[in-house]
Structure 1
Amino acid sequence: MRFTKDHEWVVLEGDVATIGITAYAAEQLGDVVFVETPDVGKTVKAGDGLAVVESVKAASDVYAPISGEVVEANTELGDAPETVNATPESGGWFAKLKIADKGQYDALMDRDAYETYLGTL
Protein backbone atom coordinates (compact mmCIF):
# COMPACT_ATOMS: atom_id res chain seq x y z
CA MET A 1 0.00 0.00 0.00
CA ARG A 2 1.27 3.49 -0.89
CA PHE A 3 0.03 6.90 0.24
CA THR A 4 -0.22 10.56 -0.82
CA LYS A 5 0.03 13.77 1.19
CA ASP A 6 -3.67 14.27 0.33
CA HIS A 7 -4.42 11.07 2.30
CA GLU A 8 -5.28 8.75 -0.56
CA TRP A 9 -3.99 5.18 -0.60
CA VAL A 10 -3.17 2.90 -3.51
CA VAL A 11 -2.76 -0.87 -3.72
CA LEU A 12 -1.26 -2.14 -6.97
CA GLU A 13 -2.03 -5.62 -8.29
CA GLY A 14 -0.44 -6.15 -11.70
CA ASP A 15 -1.39 -3.02 -13.66
CA VAL A 16 -4.59 -2.30 -11.69
CA ALA A 17 -4.49 0.18 -8.82
CA THR A 18 -7.22 0.26 -6.17
CA ILE A 19 -7.68 3.72 -4.64
CA GLY A 20 -9.30 4.97 -1.45
CA ILE A 21 -8.77 7.38 1.43
CA THR A 22 -6.80 6.68 4.56
CA ALA A 23 -8.20 6.05 8.02
CA TYR A 24 -6.81 9.47 8.99
CA ALA A 25 -8.79 11.16 6.20
CA ALA A 26 -11.97 9.28 7.09
CA GLU A 27 -11.58 10.31 10.73
CA GLN A 28 -11.06 13.95 9.77
CA LEU A 29 -14.17 13.92 7.55
CA GLY A 30 -16.46 12.50 10.21
CA ASP A 31 -19.55 10.51 9.23
CA VAL A 32 -19.61 10.06 5.45
CA VAL A 33 -23.15 10.51 4.08
CA PHE A 34 -22.60 10.56 0.30
CA VAL A 35 -20.02 9.26 -2.17
CA GLU A 36 -19.80 9.96 -5.90
CA THR A 37 -17.57 7.48 -7.72
CA PRO A 38 -16.15 7.99 -11.21
CA ASP A 39 -17.56 6.49 -14.39
CA VAL A 40 -15.89 3.40 -15.79
CA GLY A 41 -13.86 4.41 -18.84
CA LYS A 42 -12.92 7.82 -17.46
CA THR A 43 -9.25 8.64 -17.92
CA VAL A 44 -7.54 10.61 -15.14
CA LYS A 45 -4.12 12.08 -14.63
CA ALA A 46 -2.38 12.12 -11.26
CA GLY A 47 -3.86 15.02 -9.29
CA ASP A 48 -7.21 15.05 -11.11
CA GLY A 49 -10.45 14.77 -9.15
CA LEU A 50 -11.48 11.11 -9.03
CA ALA A 51 -14.39 10.97 -6.59
CA VAL A 52 -16.38 13.16 -4.20
CA VAL A 53 -17.03 12.43 -0.54
CA GLU A 54 -19.55 14.34 1.55
CA SER A 55 -19.70 14.08 5.30
CA VAL A 56 -21.63 15.80 8.03
CA LYS A 57 -18.67 18.23 8.24
CA ALA A 58 -17.64 18.90 4.62
CA ALA A 59 -17.49 17.86 1.00
CA SER A 60 -14.09 16.80 -0.31
CA ASP A 61 -12.60 15.69 -3.58
CA VAL A 62 -10.62 12.48 -3.75
CA TYR A 63 -7.70 12.98 -6.12
CA ALA A 64 -6.17 10.38 -8.41
CA PRO A 65 -2.76 9.56 -6.94
CA ILE A 66 -1.66 8.08 -10.27
CA SER A 67 -2.76 8.32 -13.89
CA GLY A 68 -4.93 5.70 -15.52
CA GLU A 69 -8.30 4.60 -16.82
CA VAL A 70 -11.14 3.72 -14.46
CA VAL A 71 -11.90 0.03 -14.92
CA GLU A 72 -14.16 -0.38 -11.89
CA ALA A 73 -15.99 1.89 -9.45
CA ASN A 74 -17.21 0.87 -6.01
CA THR A 75 -20.86 1.70 -6.72
CA GLU A 76 -21.89 0.02 -3.45
CA LEU A 77 -20.72 3.19 -1.68
CA GLY A 78 -23.76 4.98 -3.14
CA ASP A 79 -26.04 2.88 -0.94
CA ALA A 80 -23.59 2.46 1.94
CA PRO A 81 -21.34 5.55 2.20
CA GLU A 82 -20.63 4.68 5.85
CA THR A 83 -18.35 1.91 4.51
CA VAL A 84 -15.74 4.64 3.97
CA ASN A 85 -15.69 5.23 7.75
CA ALA A 86 -15.99 1.58 8.74
CA THR A 87 -13.24 0.19 6.49
CA PRO A 88 -11.47 3.10 4.79
CA GLU A 89 -8.35 1.15 3.83
CA SER A 90 -10.14 -1.91 2.44
CA GLY A 91 -13.88 -2.11 1.65
CA GLY A 92 -14.23 1.67 1.39
CA TRP A 93 -12.22 1.91 -1.85
CA PHE A 94 -13.51 4.27 -4.57
CA ALA A 95 -12.13 3.10 -7.89
CA LYS A 96 -9.75 0.78 -9.68
CA LEU A 97 -7.52 2.22 -12.39
CA LYS A 98 -5.58 0.47 -15.11
CA ILE A 99 -2.26 2.30 -14.92
CA ALA A 100 0.38 2.85 -17.57
CA ASP A 101 3.28 4.07 -15.41
CA LYS A 102 4.29 1.99 -12.37
CA GLY A 103 6.88 4.68 -11.61
CA GLN A 104 4.08 6.92 -10.30
CA TYR A 105 3.15 4.22 -7.79
CA ASP A 106 6.75 3.66 -6.76
CA ALA A 107 7.12 7.41 -6.09
CA LEU A 108 4.33 7.44 -3.47
CA MET A 109 5.02 7.12 0.27
CA ASP A 110 5.12 3.73 1.97
CA ARG A 111 3.31 3.26 5.30
CA ASP A 112 6.34 4.31 7.42
CA ALA A 113 6.86 7.50 5.41
CA TYR A 114 3.13 8.28 5.61
CA GLU A 115 3.07 7.77 9.38
CA THR A 116 6.08 10.11 9.67
CA TYR A 117 4.25 12.65 7.51
CA LEU A 118 1.15 12.44 9.76
CA GLY A 119 3.40 13.28 12.70
CA THR A 120 4.18 16.64 11.08
CA LEU A 121 0.53 17.72 10.81
Structure 2
Amino acid sequence: MTDLSTLKYSEEHEWIASDGATVTIGITDFAANALGDIVFVELPEVGTELSRGDVFGEAESTKSVSELYSPVAGTVTEINEAVVDDPALLNASPFEDAWLIKVEVADGALDGLLDRDGYVAITEG
Protein backbone atom coordinates (compact mmCIF):
# COMPACT_ATOMS: atom_id res chain seq x y z
CA MET A 1 0.00 0.00 0.00
CA THR A 2 1.28 3.44 -0.91
CA ASP A 3 1.92 5.77 2.02
CA LEU A 4 -0.32 8.68 1.01
CA SER A 5 1.54 11.05 3.32
CA THR A 6 4.68 10.77 1.14
CA LEU A 7 2.87 11.95 -1.99
CA LYS A 8 2.39 15.49 -3.26
CA TYR A 9 -0.97 16.65 -4.61
CA SER A 10 -2.36 19.21 -7.03
CA GLU A 11 -5.53 21.22 -6.59
CA GLU A 12 -6.75 19.51 -9.78
CA HIS A 13 -6.74 16.15 -7.91
CA GLU A 14 -3.56 14.55 -9.23
CA TRP A 15 -1.09 12.80 -6.94
CA ILE A 16 2.64 12.86 -7.52
CA ALA A 17 5.22 10.36 -6.26
CA SER A 18 8.85 11.41 -6.63
CA ASP A 19 11.75 9.09 -7.31
CA GLY A 20 14.59 11.52 -7.92
CA ALA A 21 14.40 13.02 -11.40
CA THR A 22 11.31 11.00 -12.32
CA VAL A 23 7.82 11.48 -10.92
CA THR A 24 4.80 9.23 -11.23
CA ILE A 25 1.42 10.93 -11.65
CA GLY A 26 -2.08 9.58 -11.07
CA ILE A 27 -5.49 10.82 -9.99
CA THR A 28 -6.66 10.69 -6.40
CA ASP A 29 -9.39 8.51 -4.97
CA PHE A 30 -11.42 11.71 -4.47
CA ALA A 31 -11.27 12.40 -8.23
CA ALA A 32 -11.98 8.80 -9.19
CA ASN A 33 -15.01 8.69 -6.87
CA ALA A 34 -16.29 12.03 -8.18
CA LEU A 35 -16.04 10.80 -11.77
CA GLY A 36 -17.88 7.55 -11.09
CA ASP A 37 -17.26 4.49 -13.26
CA ILE A 38 -14.34 5.37 -15.54
CA VAL A 39 -14.70 3.80 -18.98
CA PHE A 40 -12.02 5.50 -21.13
CA VAL A 41 -8.59 7.05 -20.53
CA GLU A 42 -6.48 8.95 -23.05
CA LEU A 43 -2.80 9.54 -22.25
CA PRO A 44 0.01 11.36 -24.11
CA GLU A 45 2.73 9.73 -26.15
CA VAL A 46 6.12 9.02 -24.60
CA GLY A 47 8.37 11.97 -25.36
CA THR A 48 5.62 14.58 -24.96
CA GLU A 49 6.91 17.79 -23.35
CA LEU A 50 4.61 19.12 -20.62
CA SER A 51 4.46 22.44 -18.81
CA ARG A 52 2.85 22.72 -15.40
CA GLY A 53 -0.90 23.06 -15.93
CA ASP A 54 -0.95 21.50 -19.41
CA VAL A 55 -3.74 19.07 -20.24
CA PHE A 56 -2.06 15.69 -20.79
CA GLY A 57 -5.11 13.50 -21.32
CA GLU A 58 -8.62 12.81 -20.23
CA ALA A 59 -10.66 10.37 -18.20
CA GLU A 60 -14.20 9.63 -19.33
CA SER A 61 -16.78 8.15 -17.00
CA THR A 62 -20.39 7.14 -17.47
CA LYS A 63 -21.39 10.64 -16.31
CA SER A 64 -18.68 13.07 -17.50
CA VAL A 65 -15.34 13.71 -19.18
CA SER A 66 -12.54 15.21 -17.11
CA GLU A 67 -9.28 16.64 -18.40
CA LEU A 68 -6.06 15.54 -16.72
CA TYR A 69 -3.65 18.35 -15.84
CA SER A 70 0.09 18.02 -15.41
CA PRO A 71 1.17 19.22 -11.97
CA VAL A 72 4.81 19.41 -13.14
CA ALA A 73 6.87 20.39 -16.18
CA GLY A 74 8.93 17.73 -17.89
CA THR A 75 9.06 14.98 -20.48
CA VAL A 76 6.76 11.94 -20.46
CA THR A 77 8.96 8.85 -20.16
CA GLU A 78 6.31 6.16 -19.69
CA ILE A 79 2.55 5.70 -19.78
CA ASN A 80 0.52 3.06 -17.96
CA GLU A 81 -0.88 0.89 -20.75
CA ALA A 82 -2.78 -1.18 -18.17
CA VAL A 83 -5.01 1.84 -17.40
CA VAL A 84 -5.58 2.52 -21.10
CA ASP A 85 -6.60 -1.13 -21.54
CA ASP A 86 -8.68 -1.25 -18.32
CA PRO A 87 -9.79 2.26 -17.23
CA ALA A 88 -11.76 0.78 -14.30
CA LEU A 89 -8.38 0.40 -12.53
CA LEU A 90 -8.66 4.12 -11.73
CA ASN A 91 -11.69 3.38 -9.58
CA ALA A 92 -10.34 0.15 -8.11
CA SER A 93 -6.74 1.15 -7.33
CA PRO A 94 -6.04 4.87 -7.90
CA PHE A 95 -2.87 4.94 -5.76
CA GLU A 96 -1.38 1.56 -6.67
CA ASP A 97 -2.04 -0.01 -10.08
CA ALA A 98 -3.61 2.99 -11.80
CA TRP A 99 -0.77 5.48 -12.07
CA LEU A 100 -1.06 7.34 -15.35
CA ILE A 101 2.29 8.70 -16.53
CA LYS A 102 5.93 9.02 -15.51
CA VAL A 103 7.66 12.32 -16.18
CA GLU A 104 11.33 13.29 -16.06
CA VAL A 105 11.48 16.64 -14.26
CA ALA A 106 14.00 19.28 -13.24
CA ASP A 107 14.93 20.21 -9.69
CA GLY A 108 12.21 22.15 -7.92
CA ALA A 109 9.41 20.57 -9.96
CA LEU A 110 7.40 19.77 -6.83
CA ASP A 111 7.55 23.30 -5.42
CA GLY A 112 4.11 24.68 -4.68
CA LEU A 113 2.33 21.32 -4.56
CA LEU A 114 0.22 20.28 -1.60
CA ASP A 115 1.03 17.75 1.10
CA ARG A 116 -1.65 15.24 2.17
CA ASP A 117 -3.08 17.50 4.89
CA GLY A 118 -3.32 20.43 2.48
CA TYR A 119 -5.05 18.28 -0.13
CA VAL A 120 -7.53 16.83 2.34
CA ALA A 121 -8.33 20.36 3.52
CA ILE A 122 -9.35 21.48 0.01
CA THR A 123 -11.43 18.37 -0.66
CA GLU A 124 -13.33 18.75 2.60
CA GLY A 125 -13.72 22.53 2.25
Question: Following the alignment from structure 2 to structure 1, what is the Cα–Cα distance between the partners of residues 84 and 72?
Answer: 23
Is residue 2:123 matched to residue 1:118? yes
In structure 2, C-alpha distance between the alignment counterparts of 1:104 and 1:6, rounded to whole Å: 16
Count of residues paired in the alignment: 119
Matched letter for residue 98 of structure 2: G
Partner of 1:99: 105
Post-superposition shift, 1:118?
A: 1.3
Q: What amino acid maps onto 1:41 in structure 2?
A: G
Q: Does 1:9 align with 2:19?
A: no
CA distance, structure 1, for counterparts of residue 49 and residue 81 of structure 2 = 18
Unaligned runs of 5+ in 2: 1-6
What is the aligned partner in structure 1 of residue 25 from structure 2?
19
CA distance in 1, matches of 2:49, 2:109: 15
Which residue identity is paired with 1:42?
T
Moved over 3 A (4+): none
Supply the distance in 2 between the matched residues of 1:2 and 1:112 (Cα, whole angstroms). 10
RMSD of aligned Cα (Å): 0.9
Shift in Å, 1:51:
1.6
Q: CA deviation at 1:75?
A: 1.2
Distance between the aligned counterparts of 1:13 and 1:70, measured in 2?
A: 14
Which of the numbers 34, 44, 47 marks the counterpart of 1:28?
34
Query: Percent identity among equivalent residues?
Result: 41
Cα deviation code 1:45-82 (max 9, x no counterpart): 00001121000011111100000000000011122110
TM-score normalised according to structure 2 size: 0.91
Aligned partners of 2:22 and 2:112: how far apart in 1?
Answer: 16
- Provide TM-score, normalisation by structure 1: 0.94
Per-residue deviation at 1:116? 1.2
Partner SS state of residue 110, structure 2 = helix
1:114 counterpart SS class: helix
- 3-state DSSP of counterpart to 2:87: coil
Q: Distance in 2 between matches of 1:78 and 1:5?
A: 24
Which consecutive residues of structure 1, in runs of 5 or more, have no partner in the other structure? none
